[in-house]
Chains A and B, each alone.
Chain A
Amino acid sequence: MSYLKEIWHSRELLQNLTNREVRGKYRRTALGQLWSLANPIAAILIYTFIFSFIFRLPAQVGNPSGLDNYALWLVCGLLPWLFFNRVLTLGVESLVSNAGLIQKVYFPRIVLPLSLANATFFTWILEMAVLVVALSLLGSFVLPWLPLVALFMVVFGLFSVGLAMMFSIINVYFRDLSYLLTIVLQFWFYLTPILYPVELVETQSNKLGGLVGTPITLLDLYTLNPVEGFIEIFRNLLYDNRAPELSTVLIALGWTVLAFGAGAWMYARKEKMLAELL
């Protein structure tokens, strides 16, 4: 409890560190914050060309929105993933790269990954705002769903920063983790239905039936991935304009509580030893 209180007291520090990240990042660039939109746009162009034009993925029609646009369908899943990816790759280094500060000043160390996640979240909001405009222009009636989108952005943010918190502590012990993570994230990206619909996995899974004599199917294993549920929620709200299934929401909430709880618990336990471990 006293730990939570301490975090609450350092909220101004958290805000200042967030500002440091946001303002420091695009200093002395002509386009400034606009650069944060460059990466997603490049990814959208490449993936749309490959998967929609060359590979001819089946059309993704939003139900009930009636949208039929691969690029938009892709972005609804891609933006959450890019956020997740950045929080993890930046967050895992957050303690090691601030070693100098940790060894000289006392402050709740948890603000380091939190401020990084906040700054990344800020970028994500900008990207999502552009997406909402694009969706509205192209015929998705997304406005009534925005409060829910915002809510799940926060939930997904907590899930992501929870993982980042755990990884940042493990990275103090095993510096390999940050390198390993970039590879894991590549696998993770392709094992999440961002570029292709989950229905394609379902088809293959049905062909295979139960794996090695058990009733467990490929799809069961595939949907263990917590990010899969979040992507589905975001697509339901933004692209399809309907409420996500309750079971998906509950599982996503469960993962969030688990990830954030474990991350916070690790900080409460290890924080005092960080200065000498680094």
Chain B
Amino acid sequence: MSDWAVRVNDVSKRFRLYHERNQTLKSAILRGKTSKHEDFWALKDISFDVIEGHTHGLIGSNGSGKSTLLKCLAKIYWPTSGSIEYRGRMASLLEVGSGFHLELSGRENIYLNGSILGMSKKEIDSKFDEIVDFSGVERFLDQPVKNYSSGMYVRLGFSIAINVDPDILVVDEVLSVGDEEFQRKSFQKFLEFKKRGKTVILVTHTMPVVKDICDTVTWINNGEMMHTGPAADVVKKYQSSID
């Protein structure tokens, strides 16, 4: 058994549910307090390791807290307590094309979006052709992205993101973008990524996908970890709980 790439240590996340969210100065001054709130624990004491080179799935029903956990893994939210450690460079892919500037051309947006996702200019230069080829928007590269069709938009976004080439990739269900052909292409790319020994953590609702590509799975329900372990076992338990 090889080493862990991501270690989730007793992670808990508390959100404040505001009854009166006083975001104006008037209410703060008049009432002499900023807000009234109630605590809500979206995650409670989650711990698991993801082994280097494994693909780890997060499953659970809607509102179970798996997206919150994913955002913690992507460093967008910070755990209220506990910690997450990484060995290697982490990149996240929660939405494609976030950060595109509509008035700028596809070419300019590749550089902009690439650097938002943590690539250096050199890296983008070396992968530029690959990104363009994969996205299939070559003819429109110097057009502003606001003229792109929605399909072209997500394809370009996805092509940039998949070429970031981190050691650890944190993904929300973005593998299902574009038409069928593009989906097949991106799935292929994804398997290639896996083959090169990279670690992937993903959220998905489609159980066949989990069984096919995940080595290990964590099942979360109401913010608590139900099970973690080999994919087949956890999925079986999860499905029997639904039926």
If A173-B23, A176-B24 touch, whether A105 touches B94 (CB-CB below 8 Å) is: yes
Query: Contacts A101-B99, A103-B76, A106-B74: A12 and B115 contacting too (C-beta < 8 A)?
Result: yes
Interface range, B side = 20 to 34
Question: Pick the contact of B24 from A24, A174, A273 — CB < 8 Å?
Answer: A174
Binds A, one of B100-108, B189-197, B199-207, B217-225: B100-108
Q: Are A106 and B92 in contact (CB under 8 A)?
A: yes
Q: Is A145 an interface residue when CB atoms closer than 8 A count as contact?
A: no
Task: Give the residues in chain A near B108, CB-CB below 8 Å.
Answer: 19-20, 23
Q: Is A142 an interface residue (CB 8 A)?
A: no
Which residues from A are CB-within-8-Å of B117? Answer: 105
Residues of chain B within 8 A of A175, CB atoms compared: 23-24
User: Is B19 engaged at the interface, CB distance under 8 Å to the other chain?
Assistant: no
Chain B facing A: main interface SS: loop
Across the interface, do A104 and B115 meet the contact criterion of CB distance under 8 Å? no
Residues on A with C-beta less than 8 A from B187 are: none
Q: Are A104 and B98 in contact (CB under 8 A)?
A: yes
Check: B118 CB closer than 8 A to any chain A CB.
Answer: yes
Majority SS at the chain A contact face: helix
Tell me which residues across on chain A come within 8 A of B95, comparing CB atoms.
Answer: 104
Least CB separation from B28: chain A residue: A174
Q: Mark A93-124, 1 if CB is under 8 A from B, else 0.
A: 00000001111111100000000000000000
| Interchain CB contact under 8 A, B23 and A16 | no
Give the interface residue-count category, chain A.
20 to 34
Please indicate the chain A residues that have their CB under 8 angstroms from the CB of B24 in the complex: 174-176
Which residues of chain B in 78-126 are interfacial with respect to chain A, using CB atoms and an 8 Å cutoff?
78, 92, 94-95, 98-99, 101, 103-104, 108, 111-112, 115-118, 120-121
Taking the closest CB of chain B, its distance from the CB of A104, in whole angstroms, is: 4
Q: Is the CB of B94 within 8 A of A104?
A: yes
A201 at the interface (CB under 8 A from B): no
Q: List residues of chain A with CB within 8 A of the CB of B71.
A: 275
Segment 165-185 of A: residues with Cβ below 8 Å from B: 173-177, 180
Known: A17-B112, A106-B74, A107-B116; 16 extra A-B contacts, CB below 8 A, are A16-B111, A16-B112, A19-B112, A102-B76, A104-B76, A105-B98, A105-B116, A106-B75, A106-B76, A174-B25, A175-B23, A177-B25, A180-B25, A272-B78, A275-B77, A276-B77
Which 8 interchain pairs have the tightest Cβ spacing? Answer: A106-B75, A272-B78, A104-B98, A27-B103, A13-B115, A16-B115, A104-B95, A275-B76
Q: List 25 A-B contacts (CB under 8 A).
A: A12-B120, A16-B115, A16-B116, A20-B101, A20-B104, A20-B108, A24-B103, A27-B104, A28-B103, A100-B98, A101-B98, A102-B76, A105-B74, A106-B74, A106-B92, A107-B116, A173-B23, A174-B23, A174-B25, A175-B23, A175-B24, A176-B24, A176-B25, A180-B25, A275-B77
